[in-house]
Amino acid sequence: MPKYLSRKAKSITPYTAGAQPKAKNIIKLNTNENPYPPSPATLEALSGFDGAALRLYPRPDGGELRATIARTYNTDISNVFCGNGSDEVLAFAYDAFFDGDIMFPDITYSFYPVWADLFDISYKLLPLRDDFTIPIEQLKANGIVLSNPNAPTGIAIGLSEIETVLKSNKDYVVIVDEAYAAFGADSAAPLVASYPNLLVVNTLSKSHCLAGLRVGYALGQPHLIDALMSIKDSFNSYPLDSLAQKIASAAISDSQYYESIAKKIIATRERAAEKLSSFGFNVLPSGANFVFVSHSAFAAKDIKAYLESQGIYVRHFDLPRISNYLRISIGTDEQMDALIKTVDEFLSK
Ligand SMILES: Cc1ncc(COP(=O)(O)O)c(C=O)c1O
C-alpha cells in the first residue's frame, strides 16, 4: 500500500478523459468539442479584457455571469449557479443533494459513477433497453441523474418524459444534464419554475465552442441554488475567474451566432449519419454533436486503430454492452468527409 495517502486516494478510480493528442494536422473527433471558433463578439471580449482588473478578486457571488444567464433564461439570478465546467457543477450537486441510493442509466456519462464513489454515495444502474432507450417508468430512487441527450448514445427524450421522472421522484432531486441539448433536445429549463426538485445543468463547452474556458451552470429554484452555493463556498469561496465570466457573458449574449453553429453541426451530423448507414453501420438516432455507431462485420477497436493510423481520432469505450461502438464527434463538413473516406478505405481493404 502506498504510504501517506488517504483511504480515498488509494481506492478511487478517476474519470478518464478522451485523449488530447499533441500532433498537428490530426482530425480530432474524440471529445465532442465544437469544430468552430467562438463568435467574433466572444473573441472581442477576450481581446478587450482589462488585464489590470485581475489584481482584484471577482465578486464572491459571481454576479456578472449569473446575471447574464438569468437574463437569457428570463429568470432571476437566485435561480442560477455557475462553476468551472459543468463537471464541477455536477460534482457540487452530488454533494449538495445526494445521500445514497441514487440512480442513473447503465450506459451514460462515465463520470456519474466516479462522483458517486468520490462522495461515498451508493448508486443503482438502470439497464437501458436493447435499443439503448431509457425505461423511464423504472427511474425511481433517492436522486436521479440523466443526461439529455444521453451520452454516449446521443438519444434524446422529451419534456413529457422528464416530467414523468420529476413527478415519480418528488422528494428527491432530478439532475438533467443538458451538455448536448443545443444539438437536438428540448431544454427542461422552462420546467424549473414548476418543479422544486429539478436541477438543469448546462455547459458552454460544446454549444458555445468554449471547452477550454471551463464554464458550466445550473438552473434551479433558489433552495437548490443556495445549497450549491453552500457546498461551493465550503470548497472555494470565490466564483469563476473574472476573465472566464467576461468571455462567457459575451458568448451567452450572442445566441444568434451559436444557434447558427448548432444548425450547421446538425446538418453535418445528418449527412454523416446517412453516409455511415449506407456503409452498413448501425447509427443510433442522435440529438447531440456526435454519433454512436457500430458495424456488424468489423470490430470497433479495429476501425478506431485504422482511423488513428490515418490521424483521425474517435472515442471507443471498452465497457459492457458498448465495446463494439464508436462515438464520433461531429466536425466540420471537410473533417467528416475525410472520416467517411477513411472509413470507406478501411471497409474496402
Ligand atoms: C454528458 C456530459 N456532461 C457534462 C460534461 C462536462 O462538460 P464540461 O465540464 O466541459 O462543462 C460532458 C463532457 O464531455 C458530458 O459529456
One pLDDT digit (tens) per residue for the chain, 349 residues = 678 999 999 999 999 888 788 888 899 999 999 999 999 999 999 999 999 999 999 987 778 899 999 999 999 999 999 999 999 999 999 999 999 999 999 999 999 999 999 999 999 999 999 999 999 999 999 999 999 999 999 999 999 999 999 999 999 999 999 999 999 999 999 999 999 999 999 999 999 999 999 999 999 999 999 999 999 999 998 889 999 999 999 999 999 999 999 999 999 999 999 999 999 999 999 999 999 999 999 999 999 999 999 999 999 999 999 999 999 999 999 999 999 999 999 999 8
pLDDT value of position 1? 60
Task: Quote the crossing angle between the two packed helices 300-309 and 333-347, to the nearest 10°.
Answer: 120
Q: Which atom of ligand 1 is nearest to the CA of 205?
A: 10
| Cβ-based neighbours of 332, under 8 Å, separated by 6 or more | 35, 36, 268
Given this model, what pLDDT does residue 16 score?
A: 85
Going from the Cα of 214 to the center of ligand 1, the distance in angstroms, rounded, reads 10
Q: How far is the CA of 126 from the centre of ligand 1 (A)?
A: 20
Identify which of 277, 336, 280, 325 has the alpha carbon closest to the alpha carbon of residue 299: 325
How many angstroms does the Cα of residue 278 sit away from the middle of ligand 1? Answer: 30
Q: Assign 263 to helix, strand or coil.
A: helix
Side chain identity, residue 281:
F
Q: What is the pLDDT of residue 89?
A: 98
| Among protein residues, the one whose CA lies closest to atom 12 of ligand 1 | 179
Strands 102-105 and 80-83: unpaired
Q: Which atom of ligand 1 is nearest to the CA of 151?
A: 1
Q: Whose CA is nearest to atom 3 of ligand 1?
A: 179
Single-letter amino acid code for the residue at 304 = K
Most ligand 1 atoms within 8 A of CB, residue of 87, 147, 153, 209 to mutate:
87
* 256 bridge partner residues: none
Ligand 1 pocket (Cβ < 6 Å) reads: 32, 85-87, 109, 147, 151, 177, 179, 203, 205, 211, 216
CA pair distance 349, 344, nearest whole angstrom:
9
Distances (CA, A) of 116 to 109, 145, 187: 13, 11, 25
Say what the pTM is.
Answer: 0.97
187 CA distance to ligand 1 middle (Å): 16
Phi and psi at residue 40, to the nearest 5°: -55, -40
Cα of 178 from ligand 1 centre, angstroms? 9
**Which ligand 1 atom sits nearest the alpha carbon of residue 32?**
14
Residue nearest to atom 7 of ligand 1 (CA): 86
- Which residue out of 200, 205, 289 has the highest number of ligand 1 atoms within 8 Å of its CB and is therefore the one to mutate? 205
**Closest ligand 1 atom, CA of 86?**
11
Are 127 and 159 a contacting pair, CB within 8 Å?
no
Atom of ligand 1 nearest to the CA of 177: 3
| Residue in the structure block whose three cell numbers are 473573441 | 43
Computed over its alpha carbons, how large is the radius of gyration of the chain?
Answer: 20
Would you say 80 and 217 are in contact if contact means Cβ atoms under 8 Å apart? yes
Q: Are 73 and 95 in contact (CB under 8 A)?
A: no
Length of the chain, in residues: 349
Q: Report the distance separating Cα 325 and Cα 323, nearest Å.
A: 6
Domains of the chain and CATH, by start: 7-38+256-347 (3.90.1150.10), 40-254 (3.40.640.10)
Secondary structure (DSSP) of 160-172: HHHHHHHHHTTTS
- Return the pLDDT at 337: 97
Spell out the alpha helix ranges (H) of 169-241.
Answer: 222-233
Q: Which among 269, 328, 260 has a CA at the least distance from the CA of 294? A: 328
Mutation probe of ligand 1 site: the residue of 81, 86, 178 with most atoms within 8 A of C-beta? 86
With the most atoms of ligand 1 within 8 angstroms of its CB, the residue from 30, 34, 109 to mutate is: 109
Question: Of 267, 248, 290, which Cα lies nearest the Cα of 39?
Answer: 248
